Structure 1
Amino acid sequence: MTVSSMASGKPYYLSLSLYRAIWRWHFFAGLLVIPFMLNLAITGSLYLFKDEIDNTVFAYRNVVQPRSESLAPSLLTDNAKAAVPGSKALRYQSPGDPTQSAKVTVGTPDGNVLVFVDPYSGAVLGKVGEEEEFSWVVKNIHSLEYFGLAFNRIVEAVGGLALVLVITGFYLWWPRKQTGGVVTVRGTPDKRVFWRDLHAVTGAAAGALIFFLAISGMPWSGYWGDKLNTTLSGYGLGYPAQLWDDVPVSKLQTKQVLGNSGWTVENAPVPVSTPGGTPVGLDRIVASAAAAGMTSGFEVSLPAGMKGVYTAAVFPDDIAKQRTIHFDQYSGNPLVDLKFSDYGAGAKAIEFGIGVHQGQYWGLANQLAMLATCLAIILASVSAVVMWWKRRPSGRLGVPPMPQQKSVFVVFTLVILVFGIAFPLSGFAILGMLILDQLITRIPSPLQRVFS
Structure 2
Amino acid sequence: MANSQTVGADHSSAAKNLSQKFYFAAWRWHFYAGLYVIPFLIMLAITGLSMMYISVFDGRDGEYVSVPVGETVQPIAVQTQAALEAMPGSTLVEWIGPKAEDRAAVVRVAVEGGNRMIAVDPYSADVVETWDRRAGWYDFLQDIHGTLLIGTTGDRMIEIAAGLAIVLVLTGLYLWWPRDDWKSAFVPRLAARGRALWKSLHAVVGVYISILLVLFLLSGLSWAGIWGERFVQAWSTFPAQKWEAVPLSDTTHAGHMNHGATKDVPWALEQTLMPESGSDAGLTGLPEGTPVTGDSIAALARALGYEGRFRIVFPRDDAGVYTINQDSMSNDSHCPTCDRTVHIDQFTGKILADVGFADYSLAGKSMAVGIALHEGDMGLWNIVLNTLFCLSVIFVCVSGVVMWVKRRPSRAGRLSAPPLPADLPFWKGAVLIGLFTSLAFPLVGITLLAVLALDVLLLSNLPLLKRAVS
- TM tier, smaller: 0.7 to 0.9
Q: Note closer, same or farther for the CA distance 1:436–1:77 as it changes in structure 2 (3 Å cut).
A: farther
CA contact (8 A) 2:219 2:370 kept: yes
Pairwise mapping of residues 52-131 of structure 1 onto structure 2 (< 5 A)? 52-54=56-58, 62-131=65-134
Q: CA deviation at 1:251?
A: 0.8
Taking the aligned partners of 1:262 and 1:58, their CA distance within structure 2 comes to 17
Q: CA deviation at 1:59?
A: 8.0
TM-score by length of 2: 0.85
Aligned to 1:336: 353
Aligned to 1:382: 398
Residue 440 (structure 2) pairs with residue 422 (structure 1): yes
Higher normalized contact order (CA 8 Å, seq sep 6+, divided by chain length): 1
CA contact (8 A) 2:61 2:117 kept: no
CA contact (8 A) 1:18 1:408 kept: no
CA contact (8 A) 2:325 2:340 kept: yes
Pairwise mapping of residues 69-218 of structure 1 onto structure 2 (< 5 A)? 69-144=72-147, 146-177=149-180, 183-185=187-189, 191-218=194-221
Return 372-381 or 176-185, whichever deviates more: 176-185
Residue 218 (structure 2) pairs with residue 258 (structure 1): no
Q: Secondary structure at the match of 1:398?
A: coil
Deviation readout 1:197-223 (Å, 9 max, x if unpaired): 221121012212212222233322232
Deviation readout 1:331-376 (Å, 9 max, x if unpaired): 2222111122223344223322333333334x21222122211111
Q: CA deviation at 1:283?
A: 2.5
Residue 267 (structure 2) pairs with residue 267 (structure 1): no
Q: Note closer, same or farther for the CA distance 1:373–1:75 as it changes in structure 2 (3 Å cut).
A: same
Q: Secondary structure at the match of 2:271?
A: coil
Letter in 1 for 2:75: A
Q: Secondary structure at the match of 1:327?
A: strand
Taking the aligned partners of 2:432 and 2:127, their CA distance within structure 1 comes to 60
Deviation readout 1:16-53 (Å, 9 max, x if unpaired): 11001111111111111111111211222233344422
Taking the aligned partners of 2:9 and 2:143, their CA distance within structure 1 comes to 50
Give 1:299's match in structure 2, choosing from 304, 311, 318: 311
The root-mean-square deviation of aligned C-alpha atoms, in Å, is 2.9
Residue 46 (structure 2) pairs with residue 42 (structure 1): yes
Residue 374 (structure 2) pairs with residue 351 (structure 1): no
CA contact (8 A) 1:88 1:108 kept: yes
Larger Rg: 2
Letter in 2 for 1:295: E
CA contact (8 A) 1:240 1:342 kept: no
Count of paired positions: 441
Residue 40 (structure 2) pairs with residue 23 (structure 1): no
Aligned to 2:292: 280
Identity of aligned residues (%): 35
Deviation readout 1:64-95 (Å, 9 max, x if unpaired): 23323222223222332333333222222111
Q: Note closer, same or farther for the CA distance 1:208–1:345 as it changes in structure 2 (3 Å cut).
A: closer
Q: Which runs of 5+ in 2 are unaligned?
A: 1-7, 259-263, 281-288, 329-333
Q: Secondary structure at the match of 1:250?
A: strand
Q: Note closer, same or farther for the CA distance 1:327–1:411 as it changes in structure 2 (3 Å cut).
A: same
Aligned to 2:18: 14
Aligned to 1:245: 244
Taking the aligned partners of 2:54 and 2:298, their CA distance within structure 1 comes to 25
Aligned to 2:386: 370
Q: Note closer, same or farther for the CA distance 1:440–1:118 as it changes in structure 2 (3 Å cut).
A: farther
Aligned to 1:236: none
CA contact (8 A) 1:181 1:198 kept: no
TM-score by length of 1: 0.88
